[in-house]
Structure 1
């Protein structure tokens, strides 16, 4: 059905469950899903197939946690993120993907090191509050999201440095990525041709599995305390950073 064999359908179902779980549970856990879908469809095509699935996961997360989101952070980063998305869309066909991801991985690992230091030393990291810093974070998030679906670790580091609650972190992340994905959608449709009525069928078939993964994430968040939630986020961010080198 739809050109996939049984093993590929199983991989897609697992990816859908992971997407739902990551959007309402462990932020940044989408990296395995990105890898699974890329194995099935290839790099660029998989980005378009995943986009509607990610947007559905964002909507579920907003329904559950949206009111607790820190919308001021979204507004600070969104204009620069849009610029980053546009640049990524225009240059996406000409980038050396491996070199870009390796550089991004270094940035994420450095930021992660600062967060680990904060936890060990029990000191709050004072990140710059000026507009240039927020624009840099937003632009890198938008660019990396468009080109390599790698914005999660960057945004995780930004939010973890502010020491906000897990529910607020999930709500803020959901708003930011839904708005970014809405901006990305026209580029995938009209420039890259990776989102079509044909590819949307995969998302429609995966709705039950994304919903199930979302339920798993909501249940998980309710049962875990703030400290372990942030430690798991940092662990997933580290794994995501390493994944950028592969």
Structure 2
């Protein structure tokens, strides 16, 4: 088990709960957990540790939304996502912890910018105007999504942007996202294992945090119909910006 101070365990506990909530109530909300993990652990270790907890959350997302996936969308995205995953793997293999740590900070800030721009665009775009899931669109978002999810588990906002651009209905959005990340996270395991990132201490730490992910996922299912999502989004964005700036400086 990693020798961490109580405040560090508290941050990891908060991150684990956030992972669960993000999987069942707030797609893309795990960027806060990314910042917390990377602030406490070495950058590459944080990516591996988070991956296993995200996979626990994937189970609950699939239970809740598995029937609503649009498989042609997943097939369209697959080639570009694979290319992005390979590029991210090469980056992790060649870069040291310091570079990866700053890269995670930059990625988080970019994801925040993407999220805010997405909402601004949504508010100004005529919802009646259809957008088509072209090959170029799928290639762009798929490659960026694959890279960011491999390096920092931060593909959520990128793929949310894609689903919004293609006017995906809410239930289809949630179901397709659930299957997308469940599959991608499984694919990432051998890559990170090949880099030797799944140390026994990481596995023990994740075992201690798994119950909190489960609690967060169950809380997310309960909160999905009740919480003020706008307020929650703002809190996540502010805390994530603070975490990203901390990682950079």
TM-score in same-fold range (> 0.5): yes
Aligned to 1:194: 197
Shift of 1:183: 1.2
2:32 paired with 1:29: no
Q: TM-score if structure 2 supplies the norm length? A: 0.81
CA deviations 1:141-199 (Å, max 9, x no partner) are 00111123221111111112334443332222121111111111111101x21123431
Between the aligned partners of 2:204 and 2:161, the Cα distance in structure 1 is 34
Shift of 1:116: 2.1
Aligned to 2:48: 48
Aligned to 1:170: 174
Alpha carbons of structure 1 residues 222 and 200: separation in structure 2 relative to 1, 3 Å: same
Aligned Cα root-mean-square deviation (Å): 3.1
Alpha carbons of structure 1 residues 18 and 115: separation in structure 2 relative to 1, 3 Å: closer
Gaps spanning 5+ residues in structure 1: where?
A: none
Alpha carbons of structure 1 residues 101 and 133: separation in structure 2 relative to 1, 3 Å: farther
CA deviations 1:2-60 (Å, max 9, x no partner) are 42232222221111100000011111111121111112212111001111001111111
2:79 paired with 1:76: no
Gaps spanning 5+ residues in structure 2: where?
A: none
What SS does the corresponding residue of 1:223 show, helix, strand or coil? coil
Alpha carbons of structure 1 residues 167 and 216: separation in structure 2 relative to 1, 3 Å: farther
2:149 paired with 1:149: no
- How many residues in Structure 1 have an aligned counterpart in Structure 2? 241
Shift of 1:244: 6.0
Aligned to 2:213: 210
Between the aligned partners of 1:153 and 1:3, the Cα distance in structure 2 is 32
Native 8 Å contact 2:66 2:179 kept in 1:
yes
Native 8 Å contact 1:27 1:233 kept in 2:
no
